Amino acid sequence: MSSAATTAPSVDKVDGFSRKSVRKARQKRAQSSSQFRSQDKPIELVQLPLLKDVSAQEQPELFLKKLQQCCTLFDFLDTLSDLKMKEYKRSTLNELVDYVTLSRGYLTEQTYPEVVKMVSCNIFRTLPPSDSNEFDPEEDEPTLEASWPHLQLVYEFFIRFLESQEFQPSVAKKYIDQKFVLQLLELFDSEDPRERDCLKTVLHRIYGKFLGLRAFIRKQINNIFLCFVYETEHFNGVAELLEILGSIINGFALPLKAEHKQFLVKVLLPLHTVRSLSLFHAQLAYCIVQFLEKDPTLTEPVIRGLLKFWPKTCSQKEVMFLGELEEILDVIEPTQFVKIQEPLFKLIARCVSSPHFQVAERALYYWNNEYIMSLIEENSSVILPIMFASLYRISKEHWNPAISALIYNVLKAFMEMNSALFDELAANYKSDRQRERKKDKEREDLWRKLEELELRRGIQNSDGVIPT
């Protein structure tokens, strides 16, 4: 083998499809914007005087003029074009932001349509295609919006406008209507996290001020989520929308409407099935716990839902689910606990015996939670028999010593809780295993018999069609 060692070809490190090279190429244009359609002529805007330089009577008119000027859009992918005008628009927007924050009495009826028009012109656009086909929000760098220098100021202006003391929803609702909200919600798919953050504030303000739009907003968010779960599995703003929903749920009146319960069961719970759950799991769990704090009777459907959607092949998600479950158990009422303890602990028994030590560990941490411990203790006669077999088996077999130690503690805790039952289970352990094995064998026999039966039937009416 010596010759092999000395003359083995040098392995070219650069070779293979290293993603680095791809990345590099992408970083060059990690900015993108679909906002601008090529225009050949350079843009000219007439420089207007500053608002503070004119008399109070002239201010409203100048304000409107400035708003109209700000409807002009610039191409930010071309970094060299219209530099002067871009700077002018930026300073004008800055001025507008200050103006709506500080001045009083500027909000006349005519300003509302102009403000909404200016905002719509700037922010509503078709989002550009994602650079990579499979944009993975965890792995890939987000594509940043190129026109952000202006966009940011527009958002800021709009937020200040909505928050201003003089703002009157009754007037604005003519302009901030369902169509406006729909377009706003579509923007939540933006890859740029800065933009989504602004949108979150905007939507939250709108939800707070426009009572007439509330039901509509909730419904559209439902649609976005359902489409995300069942159709595309792609939407960038799920976490932000859930954050808004968290505070919305907090404000729900009791008793909960059927619509809200349906939202919990048919929309929020299925969100758990999505591959990219990790990106919004914290917000999702918060929403769910909010619901349960409002109405404890929902605990059973929620936990059953979680059990239904329990991840079978993704340990990472399993850990997340276990975390959420602990949060739920933290607020569970003992009466509710009794209702779901059996299926729940069958699942926990399975998690405890997971070969993935993080899953097992996360499940075993439940025994460090005093409230959960007290619940287990109250119901030990039910829970112990469910848990015992897995714990007993794993205590001897698990490859990870830390897990074995944890299991040992759990077994000890159980022994102290109900030593009589514990001893009985330990004594019956072997015979139970044998019974299980026998049952498996019986099942096999049953199937075999079934096949024979089928064969016989097939032969009996051999002229019939045998579907396979």
Q: Interface with another protein by CB under 8 A: which residues? A: 1-4, 6-12, 14-17, 34, 36-38, 126, 128-129, 179, 182, 223, 226-227, 230-231, 266, 270, 308, 312, 346, 443, 446-447, 449-451, 453-454, 457-458, 464-468
Nearer CB in complex with another protein: 405/453 = 453
> How near is the Cβ of 111 to another protein at its closest, in Å?
27
Nearer CB in complex with another protein: 56/465 = 465
Nearer CB in complex with another protein: 169/385 = 385
Nearer CB in complex with another protein: 209/266 = 266
> How near is the Cβ of 9 to another protein at its closest, in Å?
4
Nearer CB in complex with another protein: 9/401 = 9
> How near is the Cβ of 129 to another protein at its closest, in Å?
5
> How near is the Cβ of 447 to another protein at its closest, in Å?
7
Nearer CB in complex with another protein: 90/350 = 350
Nearer CB in complex with another protein: 57/468 = 468
Token pair for residue 54?
A: 């004119």
Nearer CB in complex with another protein: 111/220 = 220
Nearer CB in complex with another protein: 117/160 = 117
Tell whether the torsion through CA atoms of 73, 77, 79 and 81 is positive or negative: negative
> How near is the Cβ of 467 to another protein at its closest, in Å?
5
> How near is the Cβ of 465 to another protein at its closest, in Å?
5
* Residue given tokens 């606990």 in the structure block: 337
> How near is the Cβ of 449 to another protein at its closest, in Å?
6
Nearer CB in complex with another protein: 84/179 = 179
Three-state SS sequence of the chain: CHHHHHHCCCCCCCCCCCHHHHHHHHHHCCEECCCCCCCCCCCCCCCCCCHHHCCCCCHHHHHHHHHHHCCCCCCCCCCCCCHHHHHHHHHHHHHHHHHHHHCCCCCCCCHHHHHHHHHHHHHCCCCCCCCCCCCCCCCCCCCEECCHHHHHHHHHHHHHHHHCCCCCHHHHCCCCCHHHHHHHHHHCCCCCHHHHHHHHHHHHHHHHHCHHHHHHHHHHHHHHHHHHHHHHCCCCCHHHHHHHHHHHHHCCCCCCCHHHHHHHHHHHCHHHHCCCHHHCHHHHHHHHHHHHHHCHHHHHHHHHHHHHCCCCCCHHHHHHHHHHHHHHHHHCCHHHHHHHHHHHHHHHHHHHCCCCHHHHHHHHHHHHCHHHHHHHHHCHHHHHHHHHHHHHHHHHHCCCHHHHHHHHHHHHHHHHHCHHHHHHHHHHHHHHHHHHHHHHHHHHHHHHHHHHHHHHHHHHCCCCCCCC
As a whole number of angstroms, the distance between CA 132 and CA 109 comes to 45
